[in-house]
Structures are given as structure tokens and as C-alpha cells.
Chains A and B, each alone.
Chain A
Amino acid sequence: MTDASRTPRERPLSPHMSVWRWHLTMATSIMHRMSGCALYGTALIVTAWALSLAAGPEAYGTFKAVLGSFPGKVVLFLISLAVFYHLAKGVQHLVWDAGHGFELKSANAGAVASIAFAIAATLAVWVIAAMTGAL
């Protein structure tokens, strides 16, 4: 039987972006999703690395030259930032999933800590890279 009621009803939508005031936990949550999408591309770069290594010295040299160029290093810098941010914010999400840290104070502290960890760890890695001749 075809009847008008068979068409899907309006489903609830979430999140209602327009009813929220901007605040830190919201911004860091959006950044978590954005960095996750950026890491999608990063995984494809890792696959390209493995393919070039399996293809031999010439292909591997080309891969390293591309990533070692200035634009390549800028991309690598942004990747390191995304990795550390997604890692830290992901840990906060795991804490939330365990049922802890929902009070406004600790939620905000976790957001600040995620950003601080991302910046500190990124800078530390690039300093180590410069010192060990990885650059």
C-alpha cells in the first residue's frame, strides 16, 4: 500500500550549530574533527612512503625530495601539529567516554591542555629533528 505516511518523517538533527555560543570546548571539538580529516590525507602519504620504499632507491629518493622541499616541510609541520592535537584531544574524548571530566572546569582544562600539548610536542619534535639531522 502506498500512502503519504510512508515518506520518512523529519528526523531530529544534531548538533544544532546555531543555538550554541562559541566556546573553547566547542572549538576544540571542531578542531578534533578537522585534524582527523587532515590525518586521513596523512595516512595516504604513509602509504605513498611504503610504496616508494618498495619500488626502490630512485622512487624513495623522489619521495624524500618532495617531502624534504620547503612546501613538503610545511605540510609535515602541519601534519605533526594535527597528529599531536588529535592525539591529545582524543585522550580527552576517551576520558569523557569513561564518564569523567564533564564539569565545565575540567572540560575547559582538557581543551587548553590539548592545544598546549599539540604546540609543545610539535616544537619539541622539530627541535629534535633539527638536532639529529633529520631536517
Chain B
Amino acid sequence: MTSYRTPLSRARGLGAAKHGVGHWIAERVSAVALVPLVLWAVFAVLRLAATDYDGAVIWLSNPLNAVLLTLLVAVSYLHMHGGMQVVIEDYIEKPLSRAMVLLLNVFVCALGGALAVFSILKVALGGA
């Protein structure tokens, strides 16, 4: 059957979504930010593991610790959302399942990040 569609019409919608560059850059920028943050977090975990509840609250009352931990959580969830998105897009082919899992990824990251940040601020700002 002869097709009356133009080559342009056939090509449309099959190319790049033009969102790739922003995603690529966000993943690299967050990666660079996470290098010092994660190294700091290793020392923070060693410190926190050696102390109890009161020690942890005092540690988190320090503005520097509270801010760095908030940044670590926010940038980590951003970075892992982008990373998991690529993994999902690579392995899940069915459009509906893919959309559902991509949505789940967004929700899990948003909820996990928001819960962590709010909890950190609650302890840091006010005598838990």
C-alpha cells in the first residue's frame, strides 16, 4: 500500500526527546558534588556509630553537619533518581510498565528525600 505520509511525518516522534542533555549534565554535576559529600558522610557515619541518641542529636544540632547532611540527601536522591531512570529505560520495554516504574521511581525518590530532609531539620532546629 502506498503511503501518503511525508518522510518528515514518519520521522517525527521517533527521534531524540531533546531532554537528554539536561539529564546527562544533571547526572554529572550531582556526581561531582557527591564526591566530597560522600567522603564527609563516611566520617560522619563513623562518628555517629560510636555515639548514642543524645550524641547524634548534638551532632545534628551543629549547622555545618545539618546542612551537609541535607545536601547529601538532596543531591543523592536527585542523582539516584536519574541513575535508576536510565536503568528502567534500559530494561523495561513495555510502555505502560515502563511508565509505571518510572513514576514509582519519582515518587520513591521524592518521598524518601522529603522524609529525610524534614526529619533532619526537625532534629537540627529544635530539640527533638
Contact = CB atoms under 8 A, between A and B. Distances in A.
Given A57-B53, A90-B31, A5 B123 contact: no
Main secondary structure, interface of A, reads helix
Q: Describe B's contact surface by its main secondary structure.
A: helix
A113 interface: no
B80 A60 contact: no
Interface in B16-52: 28, 31-32, 34-35, 38-39, 42, 46-47, 49-50, 52
A8 interface: yes
A78 interface: no
B112 A44 contact: yes
A50 B72 CA distance: 13
A56 B119 CA distance: 11
Interface residues of B, number: 43
Interface string B112-128: 11011111101100001
A51 interface: yes
A54 B123 contact: yes
A25 to B, nearest CB: 18
B28 A97 contact: yes
A3 B115 CA distance: 49
Contacts of A33: 87
B91 to A, nearest CB: 10
Interface residues of A, number: 41
B50 A133 contact: yes
Contacts of B120: 50, 54
User: For A37, A46, A134, which residue has the most chain B Cβ atoms within 10 angstroms?
Assistant: A46
A20 interface: no
Contacts of B52: 64
A85 to B, nearest CB: 12
Interface of B: 1, 3-5, 10, 14, 28, 31-32, 34-35, 38-39, 42, 46-47, 49-50, 52-54, 56-57, 60, 73, 76-77, 80, 83-84, 87, 108, 112-113, 115-120, 122-123, 128
Closest 3 CB pairs of A and B: A134-B49, A50-B119, A54-B119
Given A50-B73, A54-B119, A125-B42, 15 more contacts: A1-B4, A1-B5, A3-B5, A9-B14, A36-B87, A37-B87, A40-B84, A44-B112, A50-B119, A51-B116, A53-B123, A61-B53, A80-B42, A87-B35, A90-B34
